[in-house]
Structure 1
Amino acid sequence: MRHREAELWAALESAQSVEDFEIQQAQLEDVVSGAEAGGFASLAFVARRALADAYCVGRQWDRAFPLFARCLAEHDARTREFDPREEAELRSWYCWIIRSMAEFPAIGLPQISTALDDVEQRYKAAGGDLREVFALRRSVAHIAAVWEQEEHYFRQWTAAGGPDPDSMWDFSLQVARLTDRGDDAAAYELASAVLAGARTFAEPPVPVQIDMLLPLVRLGLHAEARRAFRLARRGITRDVYRYEYSGRLIEFCALTGNLDAGLETFSRMMWGFATLNRPTGKMDFAAAVAVLMRRMVDAGRGDEPVAWAKQGEDEYADAAQMLERMRGIALDLAAQFDARNGTTAQGDRIRARLAARPVAQVRMSAASYRLTAGIPAGLPAEELLSQAERHFEREQRTAARDHLLALGRPPAHLAARHAHLRALLHGGPDQGPALHEAAERYQAEEEWVRFALCMCDLTVWMADNGRVDDAAPLVTQMRDLLRRLPDQRAIALAEFAFANVMTGVVDSEEIDLALARAAEAAAESGDPYVVALVANRRVGRAVRREDPPEQVIALAATMRDAALDADWPAQAVRALSLLETAHARAGTTAAYRREVDRRIAGFPSDTPRVVRAGYGYAQARGLLADGRAAAAVPALEELIAVERPSGVPTMHWHWLAQGYVAADRLDDAVDAAEIDADFLDEQRERDSLEEPSTADANRKLLVECYRRLGDAESALEHLEILSRNAHKRDDAQLQDYVRAQVDQVRQVMARRT
């Protein structure tokens, strides 16, 4: 189907506004095809350039080369049809393409040299200066590790005009050359004004901040390093940057004792690493990850699982295994560059990075935490599976998956349990059939307790998916079967499943009786997990019925104690929140807080961490209620550290951010408030926030922090979000707040200029 040229221009403009790069690529490919089919040369030229950029954003840099080659050939075939502006754009794109060619060791230096000479002749023929050509030659010499040429062309670039005072990238180049040479003091002298925000550019100075991280630490400027790290980390999530920059953040974390902060960036970036086809970026990122994994191994955490994505499937790898993989990738690519360049420079550089020792201990994260725990090598298959089941029960799904990946293909006698847990983990519309299949395996093995419990899980899934009429007789049958077997834990879980399925089918009293039987069996089983599970359901019903607060308190206290004994942080926090509300209803809040303080004061030195964190949470809630948010920070930090494996509730980050503001720790406050700001907005839209105003309060807190930190652009970004939300809800008061704040921020910006 042929399109009119005007329609294709409109389609091009529309595609360029699409944020998802895969969708954008597909739309731009359609525009290019339509322009070529219609013979619209100018449109095809512009669309190919846009498509080349989209391919690079999608990590497919080599796909830009044939697009440029087609444009260059068409230009040379009809040179007179191009105006001076289009000629200049083609030359500039040519420089960019040659720089990219140098990043692929499979492209030889003679081919690159020929292209360099060609583009230089084009600049000379156009009568323009050679500043951009000298910058290109310097860049190619840098990648080829020909240092005399790099220095020569840098001087020629400087003589031809040198850095554009308004270009952040030109400034970043100057800083990077000093840091590459180890001249930390000179780099800081040059970069200090930018790091302090006294000198600004149109683009965020993320590359400068990243280049200066380790030099700042080596110079003893730890506070400035923390500030630069936070600004760079925020900036890098707001735009598209090369993989190397994320790698440098990871490497910095590794060399300053911030292993978990490094793991967080690593896990966020690994999703695209497998499809990254730019060798320089892959080499440098792999080297940075290897540095982090080396520190993990040296810290005794080599057995800790880490994410490894392979084209849509997961593969188990621990830190020690990841070290070898990434080290191998980095050294192999360095060897390819050295073979092309005829030097050992890239290999020497990578080997020096891999051997780097820690620079200092510099705390970067607001709350220290571990995302995952190590899985000791040589654990029996049954122990791996039991640990996976335990983590799943405690809402630690990532740890459960890690253990299943470590297990791999289970032995035959564990296949049914493995299938059962996988079905529960994966969820979705296929969960029911998967549970049925697991139950059939149990049945074939005459594992009657596990068979019945798997069928109970199936009935809950059926009820959740509108099949209560099918689920009700089946869950009754399974409950009756388990009652005849001497397993109190299984009986409790069957009664619990019965109550869940039959809610709304039988009267409320029968549900309460089933839960009472479940609680009795759970207590007899001695399993605190099941006690906490059942107590949660009972206390929830008591709250909805508005039972006397004393009854709610008794049930919630049982739930709290069992959850703490079971090492189940999420359930313990739910219980403590219920206790707080019930004591408020009973008018016994002061006595409750005194009891919490008394228990904390009496903790022995070997008190489990989850118990300390749980009671610390209760104490922190009292401090927040009393307006003493700063004093609540240590307890909230400890709570979040314990919660991280199972997920931190959005409100906890908000409370921690409030505490940081009260303690005048503004950078920490921004870190905490940014984490779930978008999710709070989503919860507000779904009307699922207990206090709807929290979402806006969190954004306002960010506006305040950014204003006080002098980051006007970030303050305006959050004000824009608040403005959209205000118009969506027709919230006049919020609109007035936004207008007043925007005026104040813009006045400050005007005074700066």
Structure 2
Amino acid sequence: MSTDDVYALMARSQELPYGEARTVLVEDALRRAEAAGDDVLAFHVRIRLTDAYRYGGEPAKAFATFSRTLADHDRDPGRYDEAHGLLWQMKAIVSSLTLFPEIPLDRTYAVLDDMERRYKAGGHSLQAVYHYRNVVARHVGDGTADEWYLKWRAAERDELSDCQGCDPTGMARHLIEAGRHEEALEVAAPVLDAQLNCNEQPQSIQTTLLPVYLRTGRAEQAADVHRRAYRVHRTRLADLTDIAEHLQFCAVTGNEARGLEILQRHLGWLDRAPSAYADMCFSAAAGLLLRRLTAAGHGAATVRRPAAGGRPAADVPVAELGAELAERATGLAARFDARNGTSHQGDQVRATLAAEPVTGFLPLAAHHRRPAAQAPAPEPAPRDDFASVDDLDELLDTGDRCRRRKDVPGMRAAWRRFDAVAGTAEPTPLQRARRLDARGFEHAVGGDGAEAAAAWEEAARMFGELGDQTRRHRTLGRLGAVRHDLGDEGGLDLMNAAADHFAAHPGEPTDLASALLRLTAAHLRADRPADALAALDRVAADEVPDLAGELWYLRGQALLMSGEADDGIAALRRSAELARASDDPEEIAAPALQLARALARRRDAPDEETLALLDEALAAMPGPSPMRAAALAERGASLISLDRPADGVPDLVEAIAEWTAEGMHENAVHLRVDLAGGYLSTDRPLEAAETAEEVLQALPESGGDADPAVHHARRRATLILAHAQKQLREEGAAETFTSLADDAARDGEHDAEAHFRYEAADVLTDLDMDAAAAERYAEAAEAYEKAGDPYGVVRARRRAAVCLMWSGDLDAAGPAMETARAALAGLPPDNEPARIWETALVSYEQARILARTGGLGEAAAQASAAIDGFTALDASDAAEEATRLLEDIKSALG
């Protein structure tokens, strides 16, 4: 068994994040080191395995490896010499011992005492010892925590003190538990803006400060750090306790929906929780969240619990799961308290389970906010002129006039006066029918289509019995429209019958026009533009000036749907001109919005006229409404397409908030794609990533029969997510780019496939995961070959070889670079500068590989060739770099 295998495995493990995959590699390396009989190498691997267990979510396993390495060191310090590393790991061992109630407390204190003895013997400060005595005291709740905290603060820091991020985090936790929130913020403040690259920072201090921000009036900061810190924690099993704090944060800030997403994502982790303590904390926070959901009336909703340990996956009701997890948390707390001899852990669990909201709904992002509630319109004061009117016909006529002017308060006031007078004066049958017809309007204005239909059906019957065909067909037209909106295609027959009646029996000019407008609108909603135009052709706009704007508006829509863009735009222009004289906000806004959309599509891009029309529509509608949301969405998207994302993002945020408030969630989801793109364009990758993830969570997976719009939205959101993750330096970016590549490969889009695989490789390279990057570059080269891109083939093969070199696999790097050189033959002959450039790059990188593998003579020749190529292209910087490489090679040659 070669020790080279051990070093190779350890090198590969360093490229992986802490977790199961990394731990498996280090465990394999330890087995090989032991099999090779190299005790010293096994000792050093075992130290690294202790770290892998701690940070990978298996702290209990670290006890055995740490004890073994400490014993080896004590037996022969000269041979097993890594005293500093062992003393550093001892701190975490002390902390971990408290996390398992089956480990006696005496053992923890014994390790603490041993730690203090070793620190003194080595001449180290006791600052870290006091720190971890404070940790144990806080866990037990024995009243000595403040004493150890003061010693900790007073002691001098040294090389064994926790890092500049973790030390203040521990201090802040002590102060927060003592209710000293402002002091906690003061301790943490110097760290918050520092560049921390510890495995646990900055996400740990951000999570610690969540209750501080909430309880000191810094709600926006709380929302921001929740989003940033949880994004890191969510991939790490070892951070389950921190995740519990984010779950509790959601429960007390009105973000139960977000909390439920977190719970669903991590519920399966309870079956492999890092410790009993982490299990207890998560169960308690989940119990709180589920209690609040149950209290809000969602107890019957279900949570999917994954299969584990022979238990099948199941959908568990929120109320049932909440009770189960609360009992689980209190049971674990009782075990800790029995071990500790205090009630401290039980008190904390009970406080968590009973926690009440700290604030009202706290938006976690700008587009999550809820629009300010509109104050209900005050009930209109009784009209003096109506109060003295006792004539029932006059009151009915007044109500109709108010209705036609869209004076809803006046309409209702007149009809209320009618009802009051009718209580003492018996209405005639016609008056009763008219009042029932008016009742239909009241229901329609209130949004109750079914009740409106019932009222109008009865009113039409009564008008028919009275022989009043004019009023009967007016009512039948309205009845047909509402029935059609309710999904009854028979409503179309009623609207046609009304239009035909008024065409054959002319009365008031608006009777026929109104009937045809209803019919036209129904045809447009059913995507029948030809039928809509046929209906509109039966009435001339100049014959009904009061309805002319609406007639032109509907004609414009029908023409656009028919593909007659120029005529449609002209009709909408006419409608917009007429609407400007109106005092109805929607009548002004609708044609302006539709005209803006039509112009943007016609010109392939928005322009200043488009924006002016959208401004006009928004100015007409100052309060929240679906049409205002649509105009905001259109203006936001237009500004982003004009490369003004900073101006467009606020409009999109407002539109999403308004659509969400109106219950129009599908509109809001699709608009989030534009918002995610806007965030990315304004250097806000965190917001871009989270918004894109919201889209992907809301939209169904794309399948072979997927809605093309949904497929496009998912793919665009995934692309935005990939680039945002790349900017955030998240390893997940490589996986996201790879998923895009796989989709492109299935669609036969090999150029896109190659691009995305190359992007995935770039991400891995930036994260120093060179072996994995080499694999992605090799896959990209194959895709470039399928796409017929010879330049891409050369670049990808060259980069693959370089990554193999950096990963330490020199045996594979040389042959890989030869494949890149062979690919140069495929470059087209008609672009000599490009050929020279790519050849020089291959020569330069090949020289570097050869220099590392001992082929110095050939390395010098390749470096010289690179210099010649770069010089021929006047690429002076590259030529100088190649010259330095050649000088280093010649120096090595002697």
What TM-score results when the alignment is normalised by the length of structure 2?
Answer: 0.48
1:227 aligns with 2:224: yes
Contact 2:207 2:245 in 1 (8 A): yes
Shift of 1:671: 1.7
Distance 1:146 1:690 in 2: 54
Instruction: Sort the Cα spacing of 1:696 and 1:358 in 2 relative to 1 into closer, same or farther, 3 A.
Output: closer
Instruction: Sort the Cα spacing of 1:15 and 1:185 in 2 relative to 1 into closer, same or farther, 3 A.
Output: closer
- Corresponding residue to 2:656 among 636, 647, 655: 636
SS at 1:316 equivalent: strand
Q: 1:297 corresponds to which residue?
A: 294
1:62 aligns with 2:76: no
Distance 2:275 2:669 in 1: 36
Q: 2:673 corresponds to which residue?
A: 653
Q: 2:89 corresponds to which residue?
A: 93
1:78 aligns with 2:48: no
- Corresponding residue to 2:174 among 170, 174, 177: 177
1:216 aligns with 2:233: no
Distance 1:648 1:599 in 2: 23
Instruction: Sort the Cα spacing of 1:23 and 1:206 in 2 relative to 1 into closer, same or farther, 3 A.
Output: closer
Q: Partner letter of residue 118 of structure 1?
A: D
Distance 2:715 2:338 in 1: 62
Q: 2:21 corresponds to which residue?
A: 23
Q: 1:280 corresponds to which residue?
A: 277
1:143 aligns with 2:136: no
SS at 1:147 equivalent: coil
Q: 1:4 corresponds to which residue?
A: 2
CA deviation vs aligned residue, 1:605-661 (integer Å, no higher than 9, x gap)? 999x9x998898667656755766233332234567868799956x83343552798
Q: 2:542 corresponds to which residue?
A: none
Q: Partner letter of residue 116 of structure 2?
A: E
Distance 2:216 2:275 in 1: 33
Shift of 1:209: 2.2
1:123 aligns with 2:138: no
SS at 1:175 equivalent: helix
Distance 2:146 2:714 in 1: 62
Instruction: Sort the Cα spacing of 1:678 and 1:660 in 2 relative to 1 into closer, same or farther, 3 A.
Output: closer
Q: 1:365 corresponds to which residue?
A: 365
Distance 1:632 1:676 in 2: 14
Instruction: Sort the Cα spacing of 1:329 and 1:98 in 2 relative to 1 into closer, same or farther, 3 A.
Output: same
Shift of 1:181: 0.6
Distance 2:760 2:614 in 1: 38
Distance 1:100 1:549 in 2: 69
Distance 1:263 1:645 in 2: 20
Give matches, 1:260-659, under 5 Å.
Answer: 260-311=257-308, 313-361=312-360, 362-368=362-368, 550=561, 584=601, 621=637, 629=648, 630-637=650-657, 648=669, 652-656=672-676, 658=678
Q: 1:737 corresponds to which residue?
A: none
Contact 2:172 2:184 in 1 (8 A): yes
Q: 2:156 corresponds to which residue?
A: 161
Contact 2:675 2:691 in 1 (8 A): no
Instruction: Sort the Cα spacing of 1:73 and 1:241 in 2 relative to 1 into closer, same or farther, 3 A.
Output: closer
Instruction: Sort the Cα spacing of 1:13 and 1:553 in 2 relative to 1 into closer, same or farther, 3 A.
Output: farther
Contact 1:657 1:670 in 2 (8 A): no
Contact 2:13 2:25 in 1 (8 A): yes
Identity of aligned residues (%): 27
SS at 1:300 equivalent: helix
Q: Partner letter of residue 325 of structure 1?
A: E
Instruction: Sort the Cα spacing of 1:271 and 1:16 in 2 relative to 1 into closer, same or farther, 3 A.
Output: farther
Contact 2:57 2:238 in 1 (8 A): no
Shift of 1:226: 3.1
Structure 1: tracts of 5 or more residues without a match: 371-529, 533-547, 555-575, 705-716, 733-753
Report the more deviating stretch, 20-29 or 270-279: 20-29
Q: 1:37 corresponds to which residue?
A: 35
SS at 1:81 equivalent: coil
Shift of 1:233: 3.3
CA deviation vs aligned residue, 1:681-701 (integer Å, no higher than 9, x gap)? xx9xxx989999995899489
CA deviation vs aligned residue, 1:448-498 (integer Å, no higher than 9, x gap)? xxxxxxxxxxxxxxxxxxxxxxxxxxxxxxxxxxxxxxxxxxxxxxxxxxx
Shift of 1:11: 1.7
Q: Partner letter of residue 652 of structure 2?
A: A
Shift of 1:187: 1.9
Distance 1:176 1:247 in 2: 15
SS at 1:359 equivalent: coil
Larger Rg: 2
Shift of 1:359: 1.0
Contact 1:633 1:660 in 2 (8 A): no
Q: Partner letter of residue 250 of structure 1?
A: L
Q: 1:113 corresponds to which residue?
A: 109
Distance 1:677 1:255 in 2: 23
Shift of 1:343: 0.8
Contact 2:599 2:610 in 1 (8 A): no
CA deviation vs aligned residue, 1:140-185 (integer Å, no higher than 9, x gap)? 222222222x233333333432585952111111111111111122
What TM-score results when the alignment is normalised by the length of structure 1?
Answer: 0.56
Contact 1:620 1:636 in 2 (8 A): no
Instruction: Sort the Cα spacing of 1:293 and 1:299 in 2 relative to 1 into closer, same or farther, 3 A.
Output: same
Distance 1:309 1:646 in 2: 32
Distance 2:277 2:717 in 1: 47
SS at 1:303 equivalent: coil
Instruction: Sort the Cα spacing of 1:219 and 1:51 in 2 relative to 1 into closer, same or farther, 3 A.
Output: same
- Corresponding residue to 2:250 among 232, 250, 253: 253
Distance 1:593 1:355 in 2: 52
Contact 1:654 1:698 in 2 (8 A): no
Contact 1:101 1:112 in 2 (8 A): yes
Instruction: Sort the Cα spacing of 1:129 and 1:213 in 2 relative to 1 into closer, same or farther, 3 A.
Output: closer
Q: Partner letter of residue 106 of structure 1?
A: E
Q: Partner letter of residue 636 of structure 1?
A: I
Shift of 1:315: 1.8
Q: 2:687 corresponds to which residue?
A: 671
Distance 2:717 2:91 in 1: 52
Instruction: Sort the Cα spacing of 1:623 and 1:722 in 2 relative to 1 into closer, same or farther, 3 A.
Output: farther
SS at 1:317 equivalent: strand
CA deviation vs aligned residue, 1:261-295 (integer Å, no higher than 9, x gap)? 22233333334232114112111122222222222
Instruction: Sort the Cα spacing of 1:676 and 1:343 in 2 relative to 1 into closer, same or farther, 3 A.
Output: same
Aligned CA RMSD, in angstroms, stands at 5.3
CA deviation vs aligned residue, 1:100-156 (integer Å, no higher than 9, x gap)? 1121100011222333333333334444443333323222222222222x2333333
1:49 aligns with 2:67: no
Structure 2: tracts of 5 or more residues without a match: 371-525, 529-558, 566-592, 697-701, 703-710, 729-758, 767-772, 781-791, 797-833, 835-894
SS at 1:242 equivalent: helix
Distance 2:761 2:665 in 1: 29
Distance 2:51 2:214 in 1: 36
Shift of 1:82: 2.7
Report the more deviating stretch, 633-642 or 345-354: 633-642
SS at 1:96 equivalent: helix
Distance 1:133 1:270 in 2: 35
CA deviation vs aligned residue, 1:485-519 (integer Å, no higher than 9, x gap)? xxxxxxxxxxxxxxxxxxxxxxxxxxxxxxxxxxx
SS at 1:98 equivalent: helix
Q: Partner letter of residue 317 of structure 1?
A: V
Structure of higher RCO (CA pairs closer than 8 Å, 6+ residues apart): 1
